[in-house]
């Protein structure tokens, strides 16, 4: 006896006949169970850890015990007390200099708690490759470990693993037998049951929890129109044995969960397994005695990002959020015979979706076809308010300034129109205020439903309707210009456009602004009404809304309110003409980083004790950094043995070695994107070609390194640049001498030039020492953290020298920086008491809230609009310096693993532009100069890092900071400061030969 079921695969309705089988029993999570000793502080004796490490060495030899024995456990402070045990109570913040053995401590502690104390531990690490290798290692150690992996990205992880194995010369996918594949199954048994005419079920369409059974009997009230299939969803009868759900089943009894932040925060227990709707984060907090967050500062950044999600509204590929929503809506309406539309909320929601889709198409069409518009919005994110106010400012901008910007680099006009006289300036100001008011009124009600709108705003409403619903014809364009004339009135003569084509550009910008004003309320309606229509339309995916709904009680609202913003980016460099790209929407909806410190509180509303949390990192104390600094007090610092610390501090060397072309030091940072490939080629020529010398600079450097560490790491700004550099090195030296890092996701290129440099997948970077290549070329951000790159004996870092081809610099269009800055701002104000004080001083809670919102908005617009050019950082310099020094130090830290020294070469003249200039202009070539004679903290990142760290490390200035803070900086960053200090105090000629 069979049953007929149906489900949707994309837009297609698929029918499947499933034999009546007895579903296999499978384990479910017991949410009521309290872990033994739940909530009690966890005491960890050092000796117990050493004993556990010794036992681990007997099973999986990795020098666990030796590494731990060498590490000192210090309480930060003046006397640097060494401890023999530590107690984890609620949140424990542990720091350790890069390479000290934090991962060893993480694994040993987990092993000790699981095997000795019968506790459960959840470990959060950076990527899925690390998750899988940790699960494998703990399984070998005899522990029950399972990964928490996102289901939607499973296919991607499976492909990554296949690619990595294929990259090791095992091209036959059938021979790929990595044990991790057991956690990455993507198969679906229903494929064997669908009709032979139906396409195979794609991974994301598998109806594990959403099968609808064919009705067997007519409903009693036969007049009612009901679908042929039940509205109720059924689970697949094969769930209990399905290989795809093996990890979900294994998690029930696993003592160790290993996961990524996304897997933990986003993933939820499958509906087939537990009826309760619960995220894995909540479950981990209920069942685990300890949650270990590795690289906690990176997790903090990821959480910020998760609560300021972005979706693609329109793009080349068919992944747009609105397309997905529309498809889903159609499926649901068809399944429900459109009965859902009798609900007014559903009707309004679907109408908002149609409007949003239509307006998005209009915006996309405008941006794709106009380079001028793309340039106008390319500088950062944009929204209706910003475009409105920028449109008004543009109208009254200095004409020559506008033309200069449009002409671009190298075509600047020298003559400028004289500044307007006082009377004209006043008139312009008044016109701006008036126009801004009109836009405000229109933005608040772009559909014109209020009766008290001014005539100009009404004209905008009518124009918006016309633009959205009619073709873009000549008539529409002339209507835009007519409305523009109405808006400007007499002030038209004060505006910069003089010629017809200039007015056409202005009209384009007005159209875009109007569309944005219409799109924002439609999107707000879509997300705002989501909960009201969720059940009726069976909505389950909404990247913009999902996290806030579940985590709303835990994560504070974004201080400036929920901000909607848009971004448009083209694929590759935008050289003008018609260019497609991606229109993205982001939404700040909470201070994501606050979730880290809330984990212990998650189960408390049920009276259930929460787990303790161990935060670990090498840089989660980072002064004024808005990205890395975690505000939890530091409880313990790990340091290498005094001997190793001394070697790292005294023997690590940093030098300026400017790549030159025709004697001129080359500057990469800040260069036009079009010029960067050529500059990189010249840099490679400087280091990889021999010229008149017997060896190239790279070769001299390699032979000067200890034999086990003869590898160079050459850092670029992106994967594309890594390819340019690696290929150039391959040509200048030998193809086998170099390897370039490539993302795990990138498919192998069939058309690769045979002279191109070989590649190494990011997930396999730890295998570098076994390759013939001596030079690894990689983007800076791809090697900031991750797998250790050790020599063949696994004792010391395999890389001896790192070359920074570009000075790291924050990207001005990177929204994450502004989000991190505003989150840091509110968290610090809560930590230092100024938030509470403001509330106490205000007349009422409401007044305090309004004031805070006002201040937060001010700060938000400040951080959004700030210049991130190094010379114009102003008050943000110290904070940005902290961000960059941590970034550089994390990479340099890859070279000090095993307690050895690092060599750091700064190639980009932007590291010390004044010094580079002085060397270029000197009369006697090769004469040495002092960096401090030609640069200062305003011009040189190097000197700024020296000053920022020196404030904690230099006697005399350290008084401004607590002894505890100074001790932390000494433990974490002293080697970097000493290396920089030695560099700037030693005269240099910017060359090593």
Q: Name the burial class of residue 25, with classes exposed (0-12), middle (13-18) and buried (19+) by CB atoms within 10 angstroms of its CB.
A: exposed
Residue of 52, 180, 236, 905 interacting with ligand SF4 (CB under 6 A): 236
Contact 611, 290 (CB under 8 A): yes
Residue of 53, 206, 284, 522 interacting with ligand SF4 (CB under 6 A): 206
Q: Is 189 in the site for ligand SF4 (CB under 6 A)?
A: yes
> Which of 202, 867 has the CB closer to ligand SF4?
202
In the bound complex, what is the minimum distance in angstroms from residue 15's beta carbon to ligand SF4? Answer: 14
Interface with ligand SF4 by CB under 6 A: which range of 202-210, 281-289, 504-512, 922-930?
Answer: 202-210
Q: Is 190 in the site for ligand SF4 (CB under 6 A)?
A: yes
Report the site for ligand SF4 in 771-800 (rule: CB under 6 A). Answer: none
Residue of 208, 313, 818, 983 interacting with ligand SF4 (CB under 6 A): 208
Question: Beta strand pairing status for 636-639 and 612-617?
Answer: unpaired
> Which of 200, 833 has the CB closer to ligand SF4?
200
CA distances from 503 to 185, 377, 392, 496 (A): 58, 18, 14, 9
Interface with ligand SF4 by CB under 6 A: which range of 186-194, 386-394, 791-799, 974-982?
Answer: 186-194
Give start and end residues of each alpha helix (H) in 71-146. Answer: 102-116, 128-140
Residue found by looking up tokens 């021979």 in the block: 175
> Which of 154, 329 has the CB closer to ligand SF4?
154
CA distances from 76 to 96, 287, 969, 972 (A): 11, 32, 10, 11
CA-based angle 145:150:155, to the nearest 5? 105
Interface with ligand SF4 by CB under 6 A: which range of 206-214, 651-659, 776-784, 866-874?
Answer: 206-214
> Which of 242, 435 has the CB closer to ligand SF4?
242
The residue among 898, 907, 909, 669 whose CA lies nearest residue 796 is 898
In the bound complex, what is the minimum distance in angstroms from residue 236's beta carbon to ligand SF4? Answer: 3
> Which of 190, 539 has the CB closer to ligand SF4?
190
What is the C-alpha separation between 719 and 739, in angstroms, rounded? 12
Listed in sequence order, the residues at least 6 apart from 367 whose beta carbon sits closer than 8 Å to its beta carbon are 373, 374, 377, 512, 568, 581, 583
By rule CB under 6 A, what count of residues binds ligand SF4? 11
Interface with ligand SF4 by CB under 6 A: which range of 201-209, 223-231, 471-479, 899-907?
Answer: 201-209
In the bound complex, what is the minimum distance in angstroms from residue 321's beta carbon to ligand SF4? Answer: 25
Interface with ligand SF4 by CB under 6 A: which range of 20-28, 237-245, 652-660, 811-819?
Answer: 237-245
In the bound complex, what is the minimum distance in angstroms from residue 761's beta carbon to ligand SF4? Answer: 28
The pair of three-digit structure tokens given for residue 734, joined into one six-digit string: 């030998």
What is the C-alpha separation between 755 and 693, in angstroms, rounded? 24
What is the C-alpha separation between 802 and 728, in angstroms, rounded? 18
What is the C-alpha separation between 175 and 155, in angstroms, rounded? 18
> Which of 7, 889 has the CB closer to ligand SF4?
7
Q: Is 603 in the site for ligand SF4 (CB under 6 A)?
A: no
Question: Beta strand pairing status for 612-617 and 563-570?
Answer: unpaired
The residue among 982, 872, 993 whose CA lies nearest residue 931 is 982
Element containing residue 909 per DSSP (H, E)? none
Q: Is 251 in the site for ligand SF4 (CB under 6 A)?
A: no
Burial 383-411 (b: 16+ CB within 10 A, else e): bbbbbbbbbbebbbeebeebbeeeeeeee
> Which of 236, 714 has the CB closer to ligand SF4?
236
Interface with ligand SF4 by CB under 6 A: which range of 82-90, 236-244, 634-642, 863-871?
Answer: 236-244
What is the C-alpha separation between 262 and 660, in angstroms, rounded? 44
> Which of 275, 792 has the CB closer to ligand SF4?
275
> Which of 208, 910 has the CB closer to ligand SF4?
208
Question: Beta strand pairing status for 581-588 and 310-314?
Answer: antiparallel
> Which of 207, 898 has the CB closer to ligand SF4?
207
Residue of 229, 238, 628, 882 interacting with ligand SF4 (CB under 6 A): 238
In the bound complex, what is the minimum distance in angstroms from residue 210's beta carbon to ligand SF4? Answer: 9
Residue of 244, 509, 545, 612 interacting with ligand SF4 (CB under 6 A): 244
In the bound complex, what is the minimum distance in angstroms from residue 196's beta carbon to ligand SF4? Answer: 17
Interface with ligand SF4 by CB under 6 A: which range of 119-127, 233-241, 770-778, 810-818?
Answer: 233-241
In the bound complex, what is the minimum distance in angstroms from residue 241's beta carbon to ligand SF4? Answer: 8
Interface with ligand SF4 by CB under 6 A: which range of 188-196, 582-590, 734-742, 911-919?
Answer: 188-196
> Which of 186, 649 has the CB closer to ligand SF4?
186
CA distances from 306 to 324, 405, 818, 882 (A): 20, 35, 14, 23
Q: Is 242 in the site for ligand SF4 (CB under 6 A)?
A: yes
Q: Is 194 in the site for ligand SF4 (CB under 6 A)?
A: no
Contact 716, 780 (CB under 8 A): yes
> Which of 16, 949 has the CB closer to ligand SF4?
16
> Which of 239, 973 has the CB closer to ligand SF4?
239
CA distances from 486 to 480, 511, 799, 988 (A): 10, 15, 67, 65
Contact 755, 731 (CB under 8 A): yes
Residue 550 phi/psi, 5-degree rounding, is -75, -40
In the bound complex, what is the minimum distance in angstroms from residue 207's beta carbon to ligand SF4? Answer: 5
Residue of 9, 135, 146, 188 interacting with ligand SF4 (CB under 6 A): 188
Q: Is 207 in the site for ligand SF4 (CB under 6 A)?
A: yes
Count CB atoms within 10 A of the CB of residue 49: 25
> Which of 238, 382 has the CB closer to ligand SF4?
238
Look at residue 302 and give its three-state secondary structure: helix
Q: Is 329 in the site for ligand SF4 (CB under 6 A)?
A: no
Return the CA Rg of the chain.
Answer: 31
Question: Beta strand pairing status for 2-9 and 212-213?
Answer: antiparallel
In the bound complex, what is the minimum distance in angstroms from residue 28's beta carbon to ligand SF4? Answer: 15
Which runs of E-coded beta strand occur in 238-381?
256-259, 290-293, 310-314
Q: Is 92 in the site for ligand SF4 (CB under 6 A)?
A: no
> Which of 14, 798 has the CB closer to ligand SF4?
14
> Which of 242, 852 has the CB closer to ligand SF4?
242
Residue of 64, 229, 239, 382 interacting with ligand SF4 (CB under 6 A): 239
In the bound complex, what is the minimum distance in angstroms from residue 25's beta carbon to ligand SF4? Answer: 15
In the bound complex, what is the minimum distance in angstroms from residue 249's beta carbon to ligand SF4? Answer: 11
The residue among 178, 506, 474 whose CA lies nearest residue 373 is 506
> Which of 8, 92 has the CB closer to ligand SF4?
8
Residues forming beta bridges with residue 923, ordered by sequence position: none
Contact 862, 66 (CB under 8 A): no
> Which of 239, 442 has the CB closer to ligand SF4?
239
Look at residue 75 and give its three-state secondary structure: strand
In the bound complex, what is the minimum distance in angstroms from residue 204's beta carbon to ligand SF4? Answer: 11
In the complex, the residues that contact ligand SF4 under the rule CB under 6 A are 188-190, 206-208, 236, 238-239, 242, 244
């Amino acid at each position: 006896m069979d049953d007929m079921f149906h489900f949707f695969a994309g837009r297609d309705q698929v029918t499947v006949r499933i034999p009546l089988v007895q579903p296999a029993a499978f384990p479910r999570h017991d949410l009521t169970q309290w872990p033994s000793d739940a909530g009690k502080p966890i005491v960890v004796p050092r000796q117990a850890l050493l004993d556990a490490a010794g036992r681990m060495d007997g099973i999986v030899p990795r020098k666990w015990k030796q590494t731990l024995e060498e590490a000192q456990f210090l309480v930060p402070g003046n006397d640097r007390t060494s401890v023999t045990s530590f107690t984890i109570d609620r949140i424990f913040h542990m720091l350790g200099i890069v390479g000290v053995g934090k991962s060893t401590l993480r694994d040993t502690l987990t092993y000790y708690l699981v095997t000795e104390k019968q506790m459960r531990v959840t470990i959060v690490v950076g990527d899925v490759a690390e998750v899988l290798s940790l699960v494998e290692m703990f399984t070998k150690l005899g522990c029950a470990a399972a990964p928490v992996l996102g289901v939607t990205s499973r296919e991607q992880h499976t492909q990554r693993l296949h690619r990595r194995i294929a990259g090791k010369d095992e091209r036959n996918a059938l021979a790929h037998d990595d044990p991790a594949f057991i956690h990455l199954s993507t198969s679906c048994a229903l494929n064997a049951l669908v009709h032979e005419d139906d396409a195979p079920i794609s991974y994301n369409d598998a109806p594990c929890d959403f099968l609808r059974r064919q009705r067997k009997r007519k409903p009693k009230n036969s007049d009612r129109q009901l679908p042929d299939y039940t509205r109720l969803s059924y689970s697949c009868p094969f769930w209990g044995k399905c290989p795809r759900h093996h990890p979900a089943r294994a998690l029930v009894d696993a003592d160790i969960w290993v996961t990524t932040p996304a897997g933990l925060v986003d993933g939820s227990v499958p509906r087939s397994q537990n009826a309760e709707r619960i995220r894995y984060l909540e479950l981990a907090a209920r069942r685990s005695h300890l949650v270990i967050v590795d690289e906690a500062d990176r997790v903090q950044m990821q959480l910020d990002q998760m609560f300021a999600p972005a979706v693609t509204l329109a793009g080349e590929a068919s992944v747009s959020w609105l397309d997905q929503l529309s498809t889903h809506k159609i499926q649901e309406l068809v399944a429900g015979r459109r009965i859902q539309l009798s609900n007014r909320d559903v009707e309004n929601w679907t109408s908002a979706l149609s409007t949003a889709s239509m307006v998005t198409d209009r915006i996309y069409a405008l941006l794709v076809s106009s380079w001028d518009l793309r340039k106008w919005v390319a500088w950062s994110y944009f929204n209706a308010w910003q475009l409105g106010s920028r449109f008004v400012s543009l109208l009254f901008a200095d004409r020559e300034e506008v033309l200069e910007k449009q002409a671009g680099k190298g075509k600047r006009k020298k003559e400028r129109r004289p500044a307007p006289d006082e009377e004209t300036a006043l008139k312009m100001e008044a016109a701006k205020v008036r126009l801004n008011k009109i836009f405000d009124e229109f933005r608040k009600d772009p559909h014109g439903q209020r009766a008290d709108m001014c005539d100009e705003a009404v004209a905008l409403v009518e124009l918006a309707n016309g633009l959205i619903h009619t073709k873009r014809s000549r008539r529409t364009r002339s209507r835009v210009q007519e409305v523009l004339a109405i808006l400007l009135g007499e002030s038209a003569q004060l505006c910069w456009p003089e010629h017809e084509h200039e007015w056409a550009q202005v009209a384009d910008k007005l159209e875009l602004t109007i569309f944005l004003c219409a799109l924002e309320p439609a999107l707000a309606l879509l997300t705002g009404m989501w909960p009201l229509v969720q059940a009726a339309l069976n909505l389950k995916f909404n990247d913009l809304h999902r996290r806030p709904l579940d985590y709303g009680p835990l994560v504070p609202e974004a201080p400036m309110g929920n901000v909607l913003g848009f971004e448009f980016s083209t694929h590759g460099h935008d050289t003008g003409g018609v260019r497609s790209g991606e229109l993205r929407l982001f939404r700040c909806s909470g201070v994501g980083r606050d979730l880290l410190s809330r984990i212990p509180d998650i189960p408390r509303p049920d009276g259930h004790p929460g787990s303790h949390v161990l935060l670990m990192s090498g840089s989660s104390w980072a002064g004024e950094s808005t990205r890395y600094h975690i505000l939890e007090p530091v409880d313990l610092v790990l340091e290498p043995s005094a001997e190793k610390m001394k070697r790292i501090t005294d023997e690590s060397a940093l030098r300026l070695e400017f790549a030159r072309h025709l004697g001129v030091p080359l500057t990469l940072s800040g260069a036009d994107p079009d010029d960067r490939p050529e500059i990189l080629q010249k840099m490679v020529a400087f280091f990889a070609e021999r010229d008149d010398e017997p060896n190239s600079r790279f070769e001299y450097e390699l032979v000067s390194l200890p034999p086990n560490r003869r590898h160079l790491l050459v850092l670029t700004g992106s994967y594309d640049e890594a390819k340019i550099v690696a290929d150039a090195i391959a040509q200048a030296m030998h193809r086998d001498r170099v390897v370039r890092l490539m993302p795990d996701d990138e498919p192998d290129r069939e058309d690769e030039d045979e002279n191109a440099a070989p590649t190494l997948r990011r997930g396999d970077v730890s295998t570098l020492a076994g390759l013939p290549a001596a030079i690894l070329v990689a983007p800076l951000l791809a090697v900031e953290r991750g797998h250790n790159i050790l020599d063949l004996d696994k004792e010391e870092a395999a890389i001896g020298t790192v070359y920074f081809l570009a000075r790291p610099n924050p990207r001005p269009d990177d929204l994450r920086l502004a989000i991190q800055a505003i989150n840091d701002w509110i968290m610090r104000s809560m930590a230092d008491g100024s938030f509470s004080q403001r509330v106490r001083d205000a007349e009422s809670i409401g007044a305090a809230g309004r004031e805070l919102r006002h201040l937060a908005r001010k700060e938000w617009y400040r951080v959004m609009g700030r210049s991130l050019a190094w010379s114009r950082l102003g008050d943000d310099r110290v904070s940005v310096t902290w961000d960059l020094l941590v970034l550089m130090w994390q990479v340099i830290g890859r070279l000090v693993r095993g307690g050895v020294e690092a060599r750091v070469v700064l190639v980009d003249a932007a590291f010390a532009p004044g010094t580079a200039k002085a060397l270029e202009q000197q009369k006697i070539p090769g004469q040495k100069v002092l960096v401090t004679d030609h640069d200062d903290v305003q011009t040189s990142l190097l000197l700024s890092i020296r000053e920022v760290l020196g404030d904690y490390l230099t006697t005399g200035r350290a008084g401004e900071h607590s002894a505890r803070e100074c001790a932390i900086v000494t433990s974490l960053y002293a080697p970097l400061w000493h290396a920089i200090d030695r560099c700037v105090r030693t005269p240099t000629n910017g060359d090593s030969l």
